[in-house]
Amino acid sequence: MIDFYFNAAPNPMKVALFLEESGIDYRPVPVDTKLGQQHTPAFLAINPNAKVPALIDGDVALFDSNAILLYLGEKIGQFMPDATQRGPLLSWLFFIASGVGPYSGQAVHFQHFAPAKDPYAIKRYRFEAHRHWKIIDDQLGKGRYMLGDAYTILDMAIWGWAPRIPFMLDDETMAGFTNISRLMDELNARPAAKRALALPSQHPFKTEMDDAAIRHMYPQIFADDR
């Protein structure tokens, strides 16, 4: 039995999609980051970086959504390309891990949650988020999925973050990413995606972004208070 530590954020949802697509037996373990549950000693023993998702598979503990996708794909032999495509798979997976996710997250943070709206930070992260997503959209213009005709963990990794594009950029930009929109429409219609999207609603996650939630999620804002 796999224990899957999650909430409704983009990175856990990638893994939720894989788990539902694969049919592997797992137990969802909610971690409410707005309540600070990611900072408890029990969770830090699994992920010292205090982030979700995390996963325990027997004696193996993993963190980072893209590492988890790669581990699960290799473990059960699903949603992985053939050997000739392993290089491109790793290149795109690390591009998502090191670029798409971080720049998307920072674009959201500096526009919507930072206490001071720094024009330079907003301009930089919006620019980089748009640049990275344009690269993804261009790649999807070459085939049905990120690696052509094969539905892989790369598409799941994109599916986790793509719904946030209107929030991090704007609706007009999302409308211009026609290939990403096409992929999202296809994946959202899959039964596994519907089950993954429903998973957070089965747990009473805190929704209010009050001062306490901000302290738990962005402790650097209050670092001078210590």
pLDDT digits (tens, 9 = 90+) for 54-75: 999 999 999 999 999 999 999 9
Strand partners, 63: 54
Crossing angle of helices 10-22 and 153-161, in 10° steps, is 140
pLDDT digits (tens, 9 = 90+) for 67-126: 999 999 999 999 999 999 999 999 999 999 999 999 999 999 999 999 899 999 999 999
The identity of residue 219, as a single letter, is P
Average pLDDT of the segment spanning 171-197: 98
Q: Domain 2-78+206-225, what architecture?
A: 3-Layer(aba) Sandwich (3.40)
Model confidence at 221: pLDDT above 90: no
**CA 44, CA 38: separation in Å to the nearest integer?**
7
Strand partners, 213: none
pTM over 0.85: yes
Q: Express as a percent the part of the chain with pLDDT over 70.
A: 97
- Decide if 26 contacts 18 (C-beta within 8 A): no
pLDDT digits (tens, 9 = 90+) for 23-38: 999 999 999 999 999 9
**CA 67, CA 176: separation in Å to the nearest integer?**
30
Equal fold, 2-78+206-225 vs 83-189 = no
What is the β-pairing status of strands 2-6 and 26-30?
Answer: parallel
The identity of residue 91, as a single letter, is S
CATH topology (fold) of 83-189:
Glutathione S-transferase Yfyf (Class Pi); Chain A, domain 2 (1.20.1050)
Domain ranges, ordered by start, for the chain: 2-78+206-225, 83-189
What is the β-pairing status of strands 60-63 and 54-57?
Answer: antiparallel
Task: Tell me how many degrees the CA angle 81-84-86 measures, rounded to the nearest 5.
Answer: 55
Output 30 or 221, whichever has higher pLDDT: 30
Model confidence at 193: pLDDT above 70: yes
**CA 134, CA 132: separation in Å to the nearest integer?**
5
